[in-house]
Amino acid sequence: MNKYTFAVVGALGNVGTEMLNILETSDLPIGRLVAMDIPENAGTKINWRDEELVVVESTPEAFDGIDIAIFSAGAGAALELAPEAVKRGCVCVDNSTAYRMDPEHPLVIPEVNPDALDGHKGIIANPNCSTIQMLVALKPLHDKYGIDRVVVSTYQAVSGTGAAAVKELEDQVRAFATGEEPPVSVYPHQIAFNALPHIDVFLENGYTKEEMKMVKETAKILDPAIRMTATTVRMPVVNGHSESINVELKNPYELDDVRQLFEEAPGVVVQDDPENNVYPLALAASGTDPVFVGRLRRDFSAENALNFWCVSDNLRKGAALNTVQITEELVKRDLVRVP
């Protein structure tokens, strides 16, 4: 098997660090790995496998000789650098919003729409974290029964905002414990002991950008005919996104059949024994790869409707892991080349 030169762009960020961790134990044919980051971090030394890597500045010239680059450096960096990397023969998998809704570039979850990689033009987009875990769970339902409508409410961890948000939550908890005024800067309100129905900016239609990401990405990845609405909420949880999902199916179902469908679905683990307090938990999901589903129950208020609870690690399957899985699919399909 050919060996490839990989790059991780934004290597020192939360998601970039997870990318490096996942690649370290991956079976991908990595001949060489290059860690890239902002100029201020160039020269930083990190350990990876049995090597000491020196972080280099992410410039267009840094992509000379790179076969595959996975980006978690923000939309601005992706828009500037990914086309330059492609010019140099590098295939890019980007974790930002930059290319998600661009019709020229596929938006991919390997368990859901891997065939979208065929005919790529050098840039592949990684979906939003909350969309990824939801669609991994919805895909087998849509394949068997057809989905008419989805109502999703998310309960998202602060790690999705970044390291500063995690620190602010920790600082607010300490301040509360000592009777001090909690510091508030990352979010518009205190996040500790609170719930904020506000992720990203509000749009003219009253929804947030995060909510509309889920709607639009579902249409591009799974099926534009699915009717969908979303409410996204930030919670005082360090890591692991949770979602309450209500699905109206086109055809009748039996709950036992749905449970078996989830048990057989790639990337899904069923935790559904409420009598023994077994159901997916963000705390337990943190640091793991699967999408966990539980609290399966029939919604008696609508025909062929189903409720379930869905949890996953937003830094892994919601970001870093999915990008690595995309590169694995590219290698498997012999698509590590720029047309």
Residues carrying an active site annotation: 129, 241
Q: Closest Cα partner for 137 from 304, 311, 299, 255?
A: 311
> Are 94 and 123 contacting, i.e. CB atoms less than 8 angstroms apart?
yes
Helix then strand count (H, E) for the chain reads 8, 14
DSSP letter for each residue of 193-254: T--BS--SPBPTTS-BHHHHHHHHHHHHHT-TT-EEEEEEEE-S-SS-EEEEEEEEESS---
Give how far the C-alpha of residue 45 lies from the chain's centroid of Cα atoms, to the nearest Å: 27
Angle, vertex CA 86, rays to CA 92 and CA 325, nearest 5? 15
Q: From the CB of residue 244, how many other CB atoms can be counted at a distance below 10 Å?
A: 15
Matching residue, tokens 């020196």: 54
3-class state of residue 321 by DSSP: helix
Q: What is the dihedral of CA 260, 261, 262, 264, to 10 degrees?
A: 80
Main-chain phi, psi angles of 43, to 5 degrees: 95, -15
**Which two three-digit tokens encode residue 264?**
């057989």
Q: For the purposes of burial, counting CB atoms within 10 Å of the CB of 294, is it exposed (0-12), middle (13-18) or buried (19 or more)? A: buried
Between the alpha carbon of residue 42 and those of residues 47, 56, 57, 302, the distances in Å are: 15, 5, 5, 56
